[in-house]
Amino acid sequence: MKKIAFFGGTFDPVHVGHLAIAERLLEMFDLDEFVFIPAFHAPHKPDRPPTSAFHRYAMLCLATEDVDRIKVSPLEVEKGEKRYTIDTLSELREQFPDDRIFFVMGGDSWMDIKTWREWEKVLTITDHIVVSRPGYDLNIDHVGSEISERIVDLRGLKATAGRLEKGCHIYLTDAVEMDISATELRIDLSDGKLDLTTMLSPKVAKYVEKYDLYT
């Protein structure tokens, strides 16, 4: 049985914080694979049209091509439509029936989880890893007592060290101490120049410049 983490999002653009999450969780949870799933268009972000899904997919491929055990899935991009997390997780569950699947989300998504379609089912179909940003206080009161009982708090720990439990659980971690905003990066790139040069991998930065994505 493999342990595979899937990280869904717009990744607009993918930055070093996203990669740090992948590398840290691979180690912390002793994962066999970490897979990015760029959304065609996230249904819970209706007000901001994202950069073309194909550009975002290409940037992820460039950012991860030299990293072992980190992959990019075209699952949602190839569908060519808005998809809900419940649909993607159900499909992944069918594709990997014998493997342990973890779905990764940020602390902001966790706090908005009740706005997701069939959110309670989302939290029971696979394991989940909630990654908090530095200084971000994760709350668990909004999900109710039944779901709270399945939360395993790993904050302050650098490894799971036998803390993984049987069944579908929600693991909270603050092990990735990077606070980078894709929104701020897009603003930074809007003048055609990247001032925050350390925030993007060189290959992604060149791709953004080549296709003039954020001006």
Q: Is residue 187 part of a domain?
A: no
Q: Read off the pLDDT band of 157 (50, 70, 90).
A: confident
Cβ proximity of 37 and 6 under 8 Å:
yes
Instruction: Look at residue 44 in the predicted model and tell me its pLDDT.
Output: 58
Mean pLDDT, residues 132-138 = 75
What CATH number is attached to the domain comprising 58? Answer: 3.40.50.620
Instruction: Look at residue 126 in the predicted model and tell me its pLDDT.
Output: 97
Q: Is residue 194 part of a domain?
A: no
Cβ proximity of 200 and 208 under 8 Å:
yes
Mean pLDDT, residues 64-78 = 95
What secondary structure letter does DSSP report for 158? S
Could you give the number of structural domains in the chain? 1
Number of C-alpha atoms within 13 angstroms, CB side, residue 166? 0
Instruction: Look at residue 91 in the predicted model and tell me its pLDDT.
Output: 96
Q: Read off the pLDDT band of 182 (50, 70, 90).
A: confident
| Other beta carbons within 10 Å of 176 | 20
pLDDT in tens, 89-119: 999 999 999 999 999 999 889 999 999 999 9
Q: Is residue 92 part of a domain?
A: yes
pLDDT in tens, 119-128: 999 999 999 9
Q: Is residue 139 part of a domain?
A: yes
201 pLDDT higher than 60: yes
The residues, any chain, with a CB within 8 Å of residue 21's CB and separated by 6 or more, are: 7, 104, 131, 176
Instruction: Look at residue 176 in the predicted model and tell me its pLDDT.
Output: 84
Q: Is residue 159 part of a domain?
A: yes
178 pLDDT higher than 60: yes
pTM (predicted TM-score): 0.92
Between the alpha carbon of residue 69 and those of residues 3, 5, 41, 157, 171, the distances in Å are 11, 10, 25, 23, 21
Angle CA 70–76–78, to nearest 5 = 105
Mean pLDDT, residues 76-81 = 89
Residue 116: which domain range? 3-179
Write down the mean pLDDT value for the chain.
Answer: 89
Helix axis angle, 16-28 to 53-64, nearest 10°: 60
Instruction: Look at residue 124 in the predicted model and tell me its pLDDT.
Output: 94
Q: Is residue 213 part of a domain?
A: no
Q: Is residue 205 part of a domain?
A: no
Number of C-alpha atoms within 13 angstroms, CB side, residue 113? 25
Higher pLDDT, 134 or 8: 8
Instruction: Look at residue 120 in the predicted model and tell me its pLDDT.
Output: 96
pLDDT in tens, 17-49: 999 999 999 999 999 999 999 999 766 555 567
Q: Is residue 117 part of a domain?
A: yes
Instruction: Look at residue 105 in the predicted model and tell me its pLDDT.
Output: 95
Least confident of 54-58, 143-147, 151-155, 194-198: 194-198
Query: What are phi and psi for residue 190, nearest 5 degrees?
Result: -65, -20
